[in-house]
Amino acid sequence: MRKLNFKDNPQLIDEIIDGLSEDASLKPFFLEHDIDTTTIEDALADLLTYKKEIKYCQPCKGLHQCQQDTLGMKPVLQYQGGKIRLEYVACTYLQAKENRQISKRRINALHMPKMIFEATLKDYYMNSDVRKKIYQKIIGIANQYVKGEKVKGLYIHGRYQIGKTYTLAAIANHFSDQGYGVTIAYYPDLVRELKSAIKEGSLEDRIQALKNVDVLCLDDMGGEAYSAWIRDEVLGPILQYRLLDEKLTFFTSNVPLQDLTSYYVESEQQQEKIKGFRIIERIKHLSEVINMK
């Protein structure tokens, strides 16, 4: 930035320095670094720019109100080597936006609507006892998981259009914000995709990804078309691996867990019943059942 030239008016320089020295936005900085008038004079251009631009940030309530030349960049003063320097850093609103973008990149959303990226626990409706319970459960699970404690996910069931998918999305975003890798998938479409992956030769890679992701969220269990192969060669191994490795897993369904057995049994043969029962037992050990009434 071009240095101001006040050589022909030293009195004006003194007045500016006196004004800057008492300015509320600058005085703490001067006192912290014990800055003298000579150093202030050498940095007049930067200090005047800072004084002007920091006022834009003080009443700002979001990027939509930003008046800086570069959106979201806040002026800051640095004192190094006996000199004052003006620099620019991302403000809290720009940082939050960047963090949300990073968070989205950590979420692998399979066959889910775009709205899942906007779902948050902050906006979660707690207009019933069961919703309050779900919210408290999620926060408790997250706190335990961060500490490395063994903890179950949730199996949330209830009728259509009561907010199960939004709840699952809020869970996914919450854990993504904490830095965990998350996969959230609409399970019926995921099943169709996995069947197609056989021809592509990518099935094993996709199964491994579902096994190993930090947090797995499966939406609408029981909504898929029955497939013994998916049950025995895909879903069963994924759930078993996550159970043994203590991976956090969440589910939603339109039916209670005890009724889900019939979705995984093709016939009345004993062997079929045992295989269906194994799926339910794995879900039961991975999650706590909550009826979202």
**Chain segment 108-147, per-residue pLDDT in tens:** 777 777 777 778 888 787 888 988 999 999 999 999 998 9
pLDDT at residue 100, rounded to an integer: 62
- Kindly report the CA angle at 188 between 208 and 238, in degrees rounded to 5? 25
Exposed/middle/buried for residue 243 (C-beta within 10 Å: 0-12, 13-18, 19+): middle
Non-local CB neighbours of 101 within 8 Å, separated by 6+ positions: none
Q: Which two tokens stand for residue 256?
A: 């209670």
Indicate the pLDDT class of residue 76, thresholds 50, 70 and 90.
very high
User: What's the CA gap between 214 and 254, in Å, rounded?
Assistant: 25
Residue with tokens 């078309």: 225
pLDDT at residue 3, rounded to an integer: 47
pLDDT at residue 262, rounded to an integer: 86
Burial readout 208-233 (b: 16 or more C-beta within 10 A, e: otherwise): eebbebbbbbbbbbbbbeebeebbee
Indicate the pLDDT class of residue 101, thresholds 50, 70 and 90.
low
Q: Which two tokens stand for residue 48?
A: 């005047």
Q: Which two tokens stand for residue 287?
A: 């999650």
Indicate the pLDDT class of residue 105, thresholds 50, 70 and 90.
low
Q: Which two tokens stand for residue 39?
A: 């150093």
Q: Which two tokens stand for residue 220?
A: 């609408």
Q: How confident is the model over 254-266, as a mean pLDDT?
A: 89
pLDDT at residue 178, rounded to an integer: 85
User: What's the CA gap between 204 and 249, in Å, rounded?
Assistant: 20
Residue bearing the bigger pLDDT, 223 or 127: 223
DSSP letters spanning 165-229:
HHHHHHHHHHHHHTT--EEEEEHHHHHHHHHHHHHHT-HHHHHHHHHH-SEEEEEEET-SPP-HH
Residue with tokens 């071009």: 2
- Per the prediction, the chain carries an average pLDDT of 88
Secondary structure of residue 218 in the 3-state scheme:
strand
Q: Where are the domains of the chain?
A: 10-90, 97-291
pTM of this structure: 0.65
Q: Which two tokens stand for residue 111?
A: 């066959």
Non-local CB neighbours of 80 within 8 Å, separated by 6+ positions: none
E runs forming strands in the chain:
73-80, 83-90, 107-110, 153-157, 182-186, 215-221, 248-253, 287-291
CATH 3.40.50.720 is the classification of domain 97-291: no
**For residue 106, pLDDT beyond 60:** no
In this structure, of 38-47, 70-79, 117-126, 166-175, the range with the lowest mean pLDDT score is: 117-126
**For residue 200, pLDDT beyond 90:** no
Secondary structure of residue 275 in the 3-state scheme:
helix
In this structure, of 58-62, 155-159, 165-169, the range with the lowest mean pLDDT score is: 58-62
**For residue 1, pLDDT beyond 70:** no
pLDDT at residue 99, rounded to an integer: 66
